[in-house]
Structure 1
Amino acid sequence: MLAEDLIQNWTRQGLVLPRNESGAGSHVMGDPCIVWDEEISNWRMILFSDPPGHGQAIHLGDPSEIGPGSWQFEGPLVFTNPEALPGGSTHKPWVVMDPYRPNHPAKIDDHYLLVTVSLTRDNRKVIQQARAERLAGPWTLEEDLIISAGEMADFDAKHVDAVTAYYFPDRQELLYFYMGYPHQAQARAVSPYGSAQGVATRGLTEKTVTKLGVILEPCQQTGHWASGWVGGLQILPGKEHRWIAIINASPSAPNPQDKTIAREEPAPSLGGFAYCDEEWPVTNWQWYPEPIEWIEDLPPEALANGEGVNLWRQHILLLPDGSAALFYNSGFYGKEQMYLKKAGAGTV
């Protein structure tokens, strides 16, 4: 469980997974998903490593000592049927987790599941699912897409992105959280073109997902840290609230006239929290009032170490000694590497 006093109480540890000089991971190292791998008795990180868009790293040594220098990049994921990728590439993979045991993968019919964001030939983002007997892979993609873009007026008409997923064994149901980008202005006063966080479900006996709509739209309070656009999230059981989500978002609203590379996610991206008190976390999510950190508050040593512009996808790893680690990628859009903060024992 995640304690409330953890939310702002982090100590910066520095660069934990830098970009490689060339080849895989030379542009981006980020968007981590960390799970316990029984085969190696240690942590395995599945991540957005660009090129080609996906990769994995393993932790070396004591599982509670996860600082800089303790991760070994293992290269891209392996797919048995890459021809199933509609446009030939995929990125931002995520291992389906057990929601009640953070950082532990779910296993269904002796297989692990992975969700990933793929590009179609017309450059639209869609979501696929794969399965494997080992977390190291290889992964076999399902034939059909899991989540596609919605209708023209929907919040997710342009793209679906930044997927995370959880298997609720008590319901025998998969729960997918994802980022939706609109084509048209949405019916909100603040940031009508901003992306929002949506949710979809799929029972084990069902062939298709059911979209349930938006659960977190840009906050309708001007100047709020999440009032511009909403990124990807990770859920954890809370103490004062039933569920806590760590999420990245921005106070900057997208401008439909903007043609720059970061037009859909204008800087700054910030990390922060939302909460939900429902047993089934598909409604009634609320934003926390402040982010973990504003860009202008980054200390000089963080700037000197390459942080700045954006604090992208945030991921919490709960450690055996009762401490917690916060991983995030920072840097200009498409030039990011992974950093780490920690909170001490007794906060989990």
Structure 2
Amino acid sequence: MYEHLSGCLYICFAYLTLFFFKRYPINMEPQNLTRVSEFLLLGLSDEPELQPLLFGLFLSMYLVTMLGNLLIILAFISDSHLHTPMYFFLSNLSLTDISISATTVPKMLVNLQMHSKSITYVGCLAQVSFFSLFACLESLLLTVMAYDRLVAICHPLYYLVIMNPRTCGLLVLASFFTSFLTSQLHYLMMSQLTFCADTEIPHFFCDLSQLLKLACSDTSINNIVILFIGTIFGGVPLSGVLYSYYRIISSFLRVSSSGGKYKAFSTCGSHLSVVCLFYGTGLGVYLSSAVSSSHRKGAVASVMYTVVTPMLNPFIYSLRNKDIKSALWRIIIRRT
């Protein structure tokens, strides 16, 4: 049931995205709204001798990210033992991690290989839109997974009743639609801005905050929207995660046996590690940009949540999870 639901959700996501950009094309006469046709991504370093090293490093990290997350999705789809709500959400999280990396890293690799820094106006707005979509979606999925662990630990007898396939599908769809509408709001507002002569973005992808600094028109509305959305998608999901773990820890304290405490903690230890990694790196980038005036340092710090975090998530879940390791071994044995 869960593998069919997951496949349907993936297809719905793809068709909805294609429908929107076909219905509202991303090049909504940009020549009447902007004086530039492309931007320059300054990247992480200007030193020519570092370009091959950066290309090899980020290509390796990108391939590891793709492989690790695809293995998680493959294990979920092919192994019936993993057709549970927890692994259903995990497979969607892996798909989101793949999408975040695919939004930012390939363009950087092309620019490093071609010794170019340019990105088109259309491509830049597309990066802003898709990155907003998948970053918001990851935040909401982590909150949904925390709620799943809360129900599993605090209400184990009613777990399968509460977290039935229909409820799981609705939670993922609601997370996607909310993130989708948010990303399109950013896109529509950015497409109305006028950009002038300075087209250099001190980043390796089109970061929304850096792009606003290049606009000649008034960006006060955009800044208010970014602050509001950042508060909603940062504060509310994080508050939900903290509340869930407050309830979970309270349940831990009521468990008398040490074996029961270890079993309960092992079911949510990986998720807690991913939550700390995602929100910790995001908060670190925000604080570093607020303290340091160097835009290049902010770009280097943002590598943590755009590249490193999606790469580490599969390892965090698979190395501590016997079910996933067993499923992967069964896949390898069947193939060989």
TM-score, scaled relative to structure 2: 0.27
Q: TM-score, normalization: structure 1? A: 0.26
Structure with the largest fraction of helix: 2
User: Which has the greater radius of gyration?
Assistant: 2
Higher relative contact order (CA 8 A, sep 6+): 2
